[in-house]
Amino acid sequence: MRLACCQHGIEAASAENVERALAAIAEAASGGADLVCLPEIFNVGYFAFDDYEQGAQSLAGPTLSRVADAAREYGVGVLAGSIVEDLAASAGDGFDVPAERGLANTSVFFDRDGERRAVYRKHHLFGYESREAELLVPGKSLGLAEFDGFTLGMTTCYDLRFPELYRELADAGATLVLVPSAWPYPRVDHWQLLPRARAVENQLFVATCNGSGTFVETELCGRSAIYDPWGEVLAEAGSDERAADEPAVVTADIDPERVASVREEFPALGDRR
């Protein structure tokens, strides 16, 4: 299976953000991608906190509807990295949502037919130099879906710092975890260390999909990457002539049998106490 992480440009509350995301899906599909991942809050922009309320949408809203259409048109699976979800609007549209109303950082996985297969609301809300924890409601359910022989797990950005979530996904059968993000400078070392550790300790693939762009004084560090169950880097932004934080489509061919073979060769998960 060919996986593509679309590190496209994101601006604060720009209508062009969705157009860039759709163009990136088309580019990934033209390159043979089977599964495409978009960045965190790719439509409004993660650090555009003042625009969250106005930019919030239902799960049936225009942004996710257009992504579903793209998945169907190109015949690819798409993790719509995340949007700001209006939980009350989603409930009004008939969706099952948390009892607590407000806004959520929500990712949605669409299958090749454009059908919604899983919804994940970010569990760990970032409070450090961020208003996310103030503005949003945390999710509580795991995001899991089956696709092309993989069991996909979904987490978002800051979730990387909480290994218990990844172990819970591994115990639930996940063999690939997608991580839409809006990871900024200067914590580049953490951005590269944490997903590699999550891959090694759970013996599964981890793919990080960051955005590219600047918000006031905050700049996203890009460097999207795909790690195998040994923690080896299969592909990463910046491996060509472009800078690692510039727009890019990062692709790698991955095989679910690789997870089984690594776990059989080095059965660390069975040695837990």
Secondary element (H or E) of residue 146: strand 143-147
Note the pLDDT of residue 94: 93
Note the pLDDT of residue 168: 98
61-89 pLDDT, tens digit per residue, is 999 999 999 999 999 999 999 999 999 99
Q: How far apart are CA 53 and CA 5, in angstroms?
A: 27
Catalytic residue status for 140 = no
Q: Please determine, for residue 241, whether its predicted confidence score (pLDDT) is greater than 80.
A: no
- Written as six digits, the tokens of 272 are 């837990």
pLDDT tier at 191, thresholds 50, 70, 90: very high
Q: Please determine, for residue 185, whether its predicted confidence score (pLDDT) is greater than 80.
A: yes
pLDDT tier at 240, thresholds 50, 70, 90: confident
pTM equals: 0.97
Identified catalytic residue from 37, 40, 221, 236: 40
pLDDT tier at 242, thresholds 50, 70, 90: confident
Kindly state which CATH superfamily the domain 2-271 is placed in.
Carbon-nitrogen hydrolase (3.60.110.10)
Identified catalytic residue from 5, 37, 157, 221: 157
131-182 pLDDT, tens digit per residue, is 999 999 999 999 999 999 999 999 999 999 999 999 999 999 999 999 999 9
Q: How many residues can be counted in the chain?
A: 273
Catalytic residue status for 209 = no
Identified catalytic residue from 122, 132, 221, 236: 122
Whether the CB-CB separation of 244 and 237 falls below 8 Å is answered with yes
Catalytic residue status for 19 = no
